[in-house]
């Protein structure tokens, strides 16, 4: 585990707040610096790519964690299911975060959204609009790339399909999409764009923010070429809207700095903080009056699906079972 600061169960100082974060420290540092400058409250961060909610569970009442920051509705709901969160009913936070992007019982709150979109080859795909349902059309046979169907980003999308169409119809759709794949699901979202660039497929599923990460990647300039080879299509823009997932926050069940943690949550929900956070991560603020960055706006207009993320969370188990039932990760049937 890579920790920025090592936290101990000792009694905390009056003016600090302890954060467990699945998001890399450099992504949230501008936010936390702004919070400290505004309030004088020091922030301490422990970062890890996995296992933090489980660590909080093991630490129990001795946990130093005040706040958990993570991405994806599955991970947020998972923290609630582990029993490491507590309910928050705060007028400021509730006013800033739309109802469909927060837990009905106040255990998790969205801060930014990312859309699950189609990356389409500029050279080989002419159409300017698409739907998720259309991915089952035989015209896409051998032309689709995607990561594992069991990845949390995939499960979120598939759960939304269950919510909109029911289990039986989603199973039929998922089977047809599987048979339209160019290969077995593998790699991450950026790897799918690389495959389009290489001519291995024509479209892929991916999160919007990866476009920003590729366009600005100085360590691996080749990724800029991948990004240049594709454009983003926002599925279902003309009907129910594009599926979105969230980055978010939860208040730890045994938060030793409860009041300071609430101040941080209020700050993170503000338009100022959301714009900083969204711009740094190439995501969308959840507050309607907050602006997305110019780079993100340049990808096109997002019409987000207004379905409650709580409904998505409740359909994740069925979605995961369907992925296994149709052997999605085995790739197209012969």
Contact 105, 281 (CB under 8 A): no
DSSP codes, 137-176: SGGGTT-EE---TTSHHHHHHHHHHHHHH-HHHHHHHHHH
Question: Which residue is listed with tokens 């149709």?
Answer: 326
Angle at CA 273, nearest 5°, toward 270 and 278?
115
Question: Residue 6, Cα to own-chain centre: how many angstroms?
Answer: 27
Sort 67 into a burial class: Cβ within 10 Å, 0-12 / 13-18 / 19+.
Answer: buried
209 labelled ligand-binding = yes
DSSP-derived 3-state class of residue 30: helix
Tell me the residue ranges of DSSP E strands in the chain.
16-21, 42-47, 67-71, 85-86, 109-121, 144-145, 203-207, 230-233, 244-252, 284-285
**Beta-strand relationship, 244-252 and 85-86:** antiparallel
* Residues 6+ positions from 63 with CB-CB distance below 8 Å: 9, 55, 56, 84, 252, 253, 254
Question: Which residue is listed with tokens 């799918």?
Answer: 192
Q: How far is CA 75 from CA 8, 105, 211, 228, 305, in A?
A: 24, 16, 23, 32, 20
Q: What is the CA radius of gyration of the chain?
A: 20
Residues in the annotated binding site: 209-210
Residues in the annotated binding site for Fe cation: 209-210
């Amino acid at each position: 585990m890579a920790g920025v600061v090592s936290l101990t169960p000792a009694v905390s100082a009056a003016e600090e707040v302890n954060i467990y974060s699945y998001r890399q420290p450099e992504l949230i540092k501008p936010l936390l610096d702004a919070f400290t400058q505004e309030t004088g409250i020091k922030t301490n961060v422990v970062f890890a790519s996995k296992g933090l909610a489980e660590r909080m569970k093991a630490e129990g009442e001795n946990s130093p964690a005040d706040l958990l920051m993570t991405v994806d509705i599955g991970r947020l709901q998972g923290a609630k299911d582990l029993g490491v969160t507590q309910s928050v009913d705060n007028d400021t936070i509730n006013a800033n975060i739309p109802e469909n992007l927060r837990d009905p019982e106040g255990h998790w709150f969205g801060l930014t959204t990312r859309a699950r979109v189609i990356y389409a080859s500029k050279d080989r795909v002419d159409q300017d609009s698409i739907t998720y349902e259309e991915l089952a059309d035989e015209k896409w046979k051998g032309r689709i790339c995607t990561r594992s169907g069991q990845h949390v980003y995939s499960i979120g999308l598939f759960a939304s399909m269950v919510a909109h169409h029911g289990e039986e119809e989603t199973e039929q759709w998922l089977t047809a999409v599987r048979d339209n794949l160019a290969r077995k699901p593998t790699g991450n979202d950026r790897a799918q764009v690389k495959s389009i660039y290489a001519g291995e497929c024509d479209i892929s599923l991916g999160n919007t923010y990866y476009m920003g990460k590729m366009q600005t990647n100085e360590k691996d300039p080749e990724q800029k070429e991948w990004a240049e080879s594709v454009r983003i299509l926002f599925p279902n823009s003309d009907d129910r809207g594009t599926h979105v997932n969230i980055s978010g926050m939860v208040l730890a069940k045994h938060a030793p700095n409860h009041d300071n943690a609430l101040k941080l949550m209020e700050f993170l929900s503000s338009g100022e903080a959301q714009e900083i956070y969204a711009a740094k991560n190439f995501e969308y603020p959840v507050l309607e009056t907050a602006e997305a960055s110019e780079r993100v706006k340049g990808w096109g207009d997002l019409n987000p699906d207004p379905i409650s993320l709580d409904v998505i969370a409740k359909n994740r188990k069925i979605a995961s079972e369907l992925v296994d039932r149709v052997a999605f990760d085995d790739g197209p049937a012969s």
